[in-house]
Amino acid sequence: MKRVYLDNAATTPLDSDVIAEMTNVMQNFYGNPSAIHTLGREVRTLVEKARKTVATLLNASPAEIFFTSGGTEADNTAIRCGIAAYSIKHAITSKIEHHAVEHTLDMLLKEGVIDKLSFVNIDEKGNVDYNHLEELLQNNERSFVSLMHANNELGTLTDMERVGDLCEKYNAIYHADTVQTMGHYAHDVRKLKAHFLVCAAHKLHGPKGVGFLYVNNSIKIPPMIYGGAQERNMRGGTENVYGIVGLAKALEIAYAEMAEHQAHIQGLKDYFIAQLKEEIPGIEFNGETDADKSLYTVLNVSFPEMDMADMLLFNLDINGVCASGGSACSSGSNIGSHVLNGIKADPNRPAVRFSFSKFTTKEDVDYALGVIKTIMKQNALV
């Protein structure tokens, strides 16, 4: 049976050039990067070369890049340590952030680290109300703002420059969760006014278990993980050298091929949308779908009400189509997507997130459309 993978927002296949780069390191460079002997220094050179690659692509300084175990650790470090470093008592976020942000801020409120947690208004497409954000900033003491660049379930984009300008105006610290957009858009940190950006390599055809945190050199934060002097005393623990090298290679490829991949993927997404509208009566989409307002790799589809709606993902899977019901990080949850709840999506309509990559083909999309149409016929919806 043909197997079509349309869950790239959850994780992406490894690029073959990334595999080759990592394999070389695994086979030939095994020293501990903290060791002072030759084999250790060779590996330290690989780590610092990767750091410089990442920094150059982001127009950052290598001293602003800290390698982590992934996006969740990077988000936690930015939030916990950023708030602690400046004794901030007020945080601003939205109801549709990733749980790495939402749960961390909830815990800081429970622990009494912050006194107040405000939620900026969002519309039915997941767009931030920037006027309300300014009200929250001007009516409270110094704030910590955590808003994602692109929602991982909806694809709706937030204007990072506009948020950055507001945070600068009111002396707020700005953390942008860029897990879904790193490698898909060119982030120039000298133009953005974000204090923190984050990356998870497996979202851009790199390895799982590695990411990085960008920390603007205008601020200083303490470590979240203690135990060693690694990452310039900012993150204890022996570096994941293979992963770090793979991350840098994946990001390098992503930047080099970004325009080509964006055009390819956006074309597939637009085609998918058009075909769904034509073939499935009553189809709707959660989040923005316009190219300038939506992450081109993500499409959240709201299907008509049907019997056994909770079996839709299963039926897609047994027919060879891999997709998600909202965020993959919530798989197995029986309380529904907090993102779809946050935009007040119709709970009676099954929602599926389809997400594409540079490896997705038109044949893949056509196959998925055929499966969807068959399922809809079985439910007498077409």
Query: Using one digit for the tens of pLDDT, what is the confidence trace for 103-115?
Result: 999 999 999 999 9
Residue 307 has a pLDDT of 73
Residue 379 has a pLDDT of 78
Q: Could you tell me where the beta strands, DSSP code E, fall in the chain?
A: 4-5, 65-68, 90-93, 116-119, 143-146, 173-176, 196-200, 211-215, 284-286, 298-302, 321-322, 351-355
The CATH H-level superfamily of 4-12+257-378 is Aspartate Aminotransferase, domain 1 (3.90.1150.10)
- What are the two backbone dihedrals, phi and then psi, of residue 6, each rounded to the nearest 5 degrees? -125, 45
What are the structural domain ranges in the chain?
Answer: 4-12+257-378, 16-256
Token output for 37 = 């002997």
Mark whether 329 is an active-site residue.
yes
321, β-bridge pairs? 4
- Single-letter amino acid code for the residue at 237: G
Query: Using one digit for the tens of pLDDT, what is the confidence trace for 260-272?
Result: 999 999 999 999 9
Burial of 58 (0-12, 13-18, 19+ CB in 10 A): buried
Query: Using one digit for the tens of pLDDT, what is the confidence trace for 215-254?
Result: 999 999 999 999 999 999 999 999 999 999 999 999 999 9
- What are the angstrom distances between the C-alpha of 206 and each of 7, 165, 166, 242, 365? 15, 32, 33, 11, 23
The residue written with tokens 């991982």 in the block is 152
For the cut 50, the answer to whether the pLDDT of residue 99 exceeds it is yes
Section 46-65 average pLDDT: 98
Asked whether 67 and 235 are in contact (CB, 8 A), the reply is: yes
For the cut 50, the answer to whether the pLDDT of residue 327 exceeds it is no
Identify the band that residue 325 occupies on the pLDDT scale cut at 50, 70 and 90: confident
Query: Using one digit for the tens of pLDDT, what is the confidence trace for 357-368?
Result: 999 999 999 999
Q: Tell which wins on pLDDT, 335 or 353.
A: 353
Asked whether 246 and 201 are in contact (CB, 8 A), the reply is: yes
Residue 109 has a pLDDT of 98
Percentage of the chain beyond pLDDT 90 is: 91
**Nearest in space to 36 (alpha carbons), one of 229, 322, 248:** 229
Residue 310 has a pLDDT of 76
Asked whether 289 and 125 are in contact (CB, 8 A), the reply is: no
Identify the band that residue 335 occupies on the pLDDT scale cut at 50, 70 and 90: low
pTM over 0.85: yes
Query: Using one digit for the tens of pLDDT, what is the confidence trace for 291-319?
Result: 999 999 999 999 998 877 678 999 999 99
Instruction: In whole angstroms, give the CA distance from residue 357 to residue 261.
Output: 8
Handedness of CA 281, 282, 285, 291 (dihedral sign): positive
Query: Using one digit for the tens of pLDDT, what is the confidence trace for 120-159?
Result: 999 999 999 999 999 999 988 999 999 999 999 999 999 9
Residue 1 has a pLDDT of 78
Asked whether 195 and 221 are in contact (CB, 8 A), the reply is: no
Identify the band that residue 378 occupies on the pLDDT scale cut at 50, 70 and 90: confident
| CATH (residue range 16-256) | 3.40.640.10
For the cut 90, the answer to whether the pLDDT of residue 288 exceeds it is yes
For the cut 90, the answer to whether the pLDDT of residue 382 exceeds it is no
Interior angle at CA 107, CA 103 and CA 112, nearest 5:
150
**Nearest in space to 237 (alpha carbons), one of 229, 245, 247:** 229
Instruction: In whole angstroms, give the CA distance from residue 245 to residue 15.
Output: 13
Residue 299 has a pLDDT of 98
Asked whether 91 and 229 are in contact (CB, 8 A), the reply is: no
In sequence order, the 6+-apart residues with CB closer than 8 A to the CB of 337 are 153, 325, 326, 327, 330, 351
Residue 326 has a pLDDT of 55
> Comparing 11-20, 171-180, 300-309, which segment has the lowest mean pLDDT?
300-309
Instruction: In whole angstroms, give the CA distance from residue 92 to residue 79.
Output: 11
* Helical spans, DSSP H, in 65-221: 71-85, 99-110, 130-138, 160-169
203, β-bridge pairs? none
Residue 380 has a pLDDT of 74
Residue 330 has a pLDDT of 43
Asked whether 142 and 88 are in contact (CB, 8 A), the reply is: yes
Average model confidence (pLDDT) across the chain: 95
Token output for 173 = 């610290």
Residue 328 has a pLDDT of 40
Token output for 38 = 């030759």
Section 206-210 average pLDDT: 98
Section 279-284 average pLDDT: 93
Instruction: In whole angstroms, give the CA distance from residue 197 to residue 214.
Output: 5
